[in-house]
Amino acid sequence: METMSYSDSDSSSGAGDYKNFRQISRERLLYEMLRSAKTGDSKSTWKVLIMDKVTVKIMSNSCKMADITSEGVSLVEDIYRRRQPLPSLDAIYFMQPTKENVIVFLSDMSGRTPLYKKAFVYFSSPISRELVAHIKKDSSVLPRIGALREEFPFVRYRAAKSLDSMTMTTFRDLIPTKLAAGIWNCLVKHKSIPNFPQKETCELLILDRSIDQIAPVIHEWTYDAMCHDLLNMEGNKYVHEVPSKTGGAPEKKEVLLEEHDPIWLELRHAHIADASERLHEKMTNFVSKNKAAQLQHGSRDSGELSTRELQKMVQALPQYSEQIDKLSLHVEIAGKINRIIREQGLRELGQLEQDLVFGDAGMKDVIKFLTTNEEVSRENKLRLLMILAAIYPEKFEGEKGLNLMKLAKLPPDDMNAVNNMRLLAPSSDAKKSSAGAFSLKFDIHKKKRTARKDRSGEQETWQLSRFYPIIEELVEKLGKGELSKDDYPCMNDPSPTFHGTSQAAPIHEAPVAHSMRSRRTPTWARPRGSDDGYSSDSVLRHASSDFKKMGKRIFVFIIGGATRSELRVCHKLTGKLNREVVLGSTSLDDPPQFITKLKLLTAHELSLEDLQI
């Protein structure tokens, strides 16, 4: 782990222009890219926007379709699909700087009949000299290029390779100087963020996945996490059935669970029990205030509405169609999640998982659970053993590990994932590097097998809401200036007046240690009536309303993939610390993706014990 603190003296804007990272990304996309893509001889103001799979996610994460069309974009296209020639319109290419994308671009714009009049090309990251030379070779394309720009870092931009393609050699190559400097330049150096306050100091915390191996596999009980964990979603896309307009069989409809949906925005970080209660209250309130809805609901005493009844209500009340549509969608999703929780017995499993993490359960409890709950799914048994391996890695050495796998009735490829999880666990005898070199140093307290400790003064509201990722504690301490410099050294240790000035000392490299977590009950599960500043709607209301009062930004970058629980706590801490906390990573992994990675990797690629950088 490394922390970095820089001040940006190249910006000309004052501190009063503070904007959050999403706003900055949106402005860069709309104004620096879409609005600037024009030529003096263009008769038409309309343009075509062409993107690949990655850049379309960047765009959708920051901008609405209405924003894009307001900047003169009449058509959005996929670079890999066959497209209709529009020789009278200019085109904007927003894409990754890959050989495949460049070949497609040159094919579009070369020859006597190009697809578009002019091409304005924006790459999402630096392009290689070889690809630039390849573009220059085509003399028919060069006069048709209106702009060629690179390095547009945005929210969720992948600044490094994914863990599934990394070996220990690439880790050595990247950390600390190349990766740290690269992430920093990508996120906060002067041209990456326009209008960056002149004397604002930021902090960058770089971690790897081994800092908290449990977070990617434990069952997280928030609405967002459970949607992506249990519903087999593809990204943010959810598919559900709606009544046919022609009266036939139900039709499948795709919806995106994203920030443009106000209900999703309100509930995404809420505990699933809290989210279910809120949805029930919303529907009950709507029915009680609308006579037509009461007729559809009927005279039943039960307050529960079936999905079919909700869909009929949409048809009967067209003036409320959008409102009921979204409400019925989330009622359906929450109902499906709760059914899966019951059918898979996740409450008992989740309780055991959290008891293991907090030191309230051990090996005997796991063996008893596996013996008496043979109906538990293969994936859930695997996740339980992966958590166990992270806490008790020595229990999976040799025959002991094989016996546990036999008890769980898991196949050999699952054993590979468990073994790799064990190798990610902190090692008590990891070698220390020589002075001045960076290394990973681990600290395991053999007498204590607990990954979290209680904090006093916080009350648990919802069952199974005890777990929280370790970065919550680390970022909170960093924000308060309490993060141990011995365990988490700063590469460019700031002056004593660090939190009030932009002065920074030279970069230092030192050993890194893993800190044991501190357990406490998350305040995001408090009743919604208590406006404590931690709920998503409270954060949006209080933190986002006045960014001029925000402190310096904190950037967190996790090598090896981030989790939705870590996204949640960064959102929460933005309001709590009054500092924008931005999370970046090599990937965003839900449990199935993380488990697949560990199954495919070899032990050499994943072992951190011999890593000396």
Count helices and strands (H / E) in the chain: 23, 13
CA distance 382 to 32: 48
CA-to-CA separations, 376 to 259, 370, 444, in angstroms, rounded:
34, 8, 31
Q: Is the dihedral of CA 369, 358, 439, 158 positive or negative?
A: positive
Q: Which of 59, 246, 29 lies closest to 120 in space, CA to CA?
A: 29
User: 526: closest CA among 273, 355, 352?
Assistant: 273
Q: How many CB atoms lie within 10 A of CB 352?
A: 20
Instruction: Find where tokens 């590979």 sit.
Output: 416
Q: Using CA atoms, how far apart are residues 580 and 547, in angstroms rounded to an integer? A: 9
* Residues 145/121, Cβ–Cβ less than 8 Å: yes
Strand 90-95 versus strand 119-123 pairing type: parallel
Give residue 151's pLDDT: 58
HEC per residue, 363-382: HHHHHHHHHHCCCCCHHHHH
Q: Identify whether the C-beta of residue 515 lies closer than 8 Å to the C-beta of residue 440.
A: no
**Would you call 273 helix, strand, or coil by DSSP?**
helix
Q: What angle do CA 408, 402, 388 make, to 5 degrees?
A: 60
Could you report the per-residue pLDDT of 524-572, keeping only the tens digit for each? Answer: 333 434 333 333 344 444 444 455 567 788 889 898 899 999 999 999 9
Distance in angstroms (rounded) separating the CA atoms of residues 296 and 313: 6
Q: Which domains does the chain have, with CATH numbers?
A: 21-150 (3.40.50.2060), 156-218+467-491+540-602 (3.40.50.1910), 223-344 (3.90.830.10), 346-424 (no CATH)
497 CB-near residues (< 8 Å, 6+ apart): 503
CB atoms under 10 Å from CB of 100, counted, come to 12
Spatial separation of the C-alpha atoms in residues 509 and 512, rounded to whole Å: 9
C-alpha 352 chain-centroid distance:
26
Query: Which runs of E-coded beta strand occur in 424-559?
Result: 440-441, 512-513, 551-559
Please state the φ and ψ torsions of residue 403, each to the nearest 5 degrees: -65, -40
CA dist., res. 219 & res. 230, Å (int): 10
* 603 bridge partner residues: none
pLDDT at 460: 62
Tell me the C-alpha to C-alpha distance, in Å, between residue 51 and each of 8, 31, 126, 138.
Answer: 31, 17, 16, 22
Ranges of residues in the chain with a pLDDT under 50 are 1-16, 153-176, 188-199, 299-302, 429-448, 495-545, 603-613
pLDDT of residue 140: 93
What does the pLDDT read at residue 57?
Answer: 84
Task: Assess contact for 557 and 183: CB atoms under 8 A.
Answer: yes
Per-residue model confidence (pLDDT) at position 217: 96
38 Cα distance to chain centroid: 34
Question: pTM of the predicted model, to two decimals?
Answer: 0.68
User: What is the spatial distance between Cα 6 and Cα 408, in angstroms, rounded to a whole number?
Assistant: 50
* SS3 state of residue 610: coil
Q: For residues 94 and 124, is the Cβ–Cβ distance under 8 A?
A: yes
d(C-alpha 554, C-alpha 600), whole Å: 33
Take residue 124 and report the two structure tokens written for it. 């999402």
CA distances from 109 to 34, 37, 85, 97, 117 (A): 19, 16, 10, 17, 8
Please report how many Cα atoms fall inside a 13 Å half-sphere around the Cα of residue 196, on the Cβ side: 23
| pLDDT of res. 169 | 31
